[in-house]
Amino acid sequence: MSLSVPELVFLALAAVAGGLVNALAGGGTLITFPALTAVGVPALNANVTNTIALLPGYLGGTYAQRRDLEGQRDRLLVVALPAIAGGFVGGLLLLMTGEKLFRDLVPWLILLATALLALEPPVKRSVARRLGSSERPAPVHLGAAALAAFAGSVYGGYFGAGLGIILLALFSLVLPESLTRINALKQAVSFLANGAAAVLFALTGHVVWLAALVMAAGALLGGSLGGRFATVVSPGRLRVAVVGLGIVVALVYFVR
């Protein structure tokens, strides 16, 4: 589909906002996905395009936390293939869903993502209380981590918003490790899952490529700005604002 210059500018600005929000509090998809549908991109195409547009942000996040991945080579090798497989399966499920059914599911998916974002602080506090041991996990932990990576990645390939908090909660149940290192593992799995889905989507005719490229550039800029504003903007207040936006967006989709 063709997009006008004003529409592309709007998408770029939405991506900058989404990248900034992702860097500070999470929930950027609650901005970028509705922006795509607002300019007339069908819901399924918007989700596919959004996945590809935000992929560089996941790569940047993984690179930024690379030091916390040191010493986790065995874990990363164990969860990598399930994450890729899960992202691919989730992407296939999305393509099999079809536009009409996915459009009907959109408000519920946005509400789920909004709820996950709202629950992130208490989940992190709960995880931090439980974790802290640096002992090497037994094989049963690694096997459970592989299952957790696959299950979370299926959701990530299908919609993706809120994937980070899902993986954080699942990994915290099966890996005796610090919150910081689990966060890094979660980031790597998120990148692998979304990357697998993005490769699948790129082979279909569902991607609005011009929008994806413009938004990818905007998201990278937003992520960079987020790092600079980290000491100025309150992540907690920003999260409340994004949760409120998510509720409003879901209501709008319900009444459409």
Residue 204 backbone zone (phi > 0: left; psi -120 to 50: alpha; other: beta): beta
pLDDT of residue 221: 86
Per-residue pLDDT of 100-114, as tens digits, reads 898 889 889 888 888
pTM, 2 dp: 0.82
C-alpha pair distances (Å), 76 with each of 8, 145, 149, 182, 192: 37, 10, 10, 11, 11
Identify whether the C-beta of residue 152 lies closer than 8 Å to the C-beta of residue 85. no
Per-residue pLDDT of 205-250, as tens digits, reads 899 999 999 999 998 888 777 666 656 667 677 778 878 888 888 8
What gap in Å lies between CA 218 and CA 53, rounded to an integer? 9
Residue with tokens 């990818």: 216
Radius of gyration of the chain (CA): 17
Nearest alpha carbon to residue 55 among 168, 197, 221? 197
Identify whether the C-beta of residue 53 lies closer than 8 Å to the C-beta of residue 14. no
pLDDT at 58 over 90: no
Instruction: Domain count for the chain, please give it.
Output: 1
What gap in Å lies between CA 77 and CA 177, rounded to an integer? 17
Per-residue pLDDT of 101-154, as tens digits, reads 988 898 898 888 888 878 877 877 776 676 554 455 445 577 888 999 999 999
Query: Which domain covers residue 67, as residue numbers?
Result: 5-255
The encoded tokens of residue 133 equal 């041991």
The encoded tokens of residue 153 equal 């990645």
Per-residue pLDDT of 150-192, as tens digits, reads 999 999 999 888 788 888 888 877 777 777 788 788 888 988 9
- Tell me the residue type at 70: E
Question: Positive or negative CA dihedral for 94, 163, 22, 254?
Answer: positive
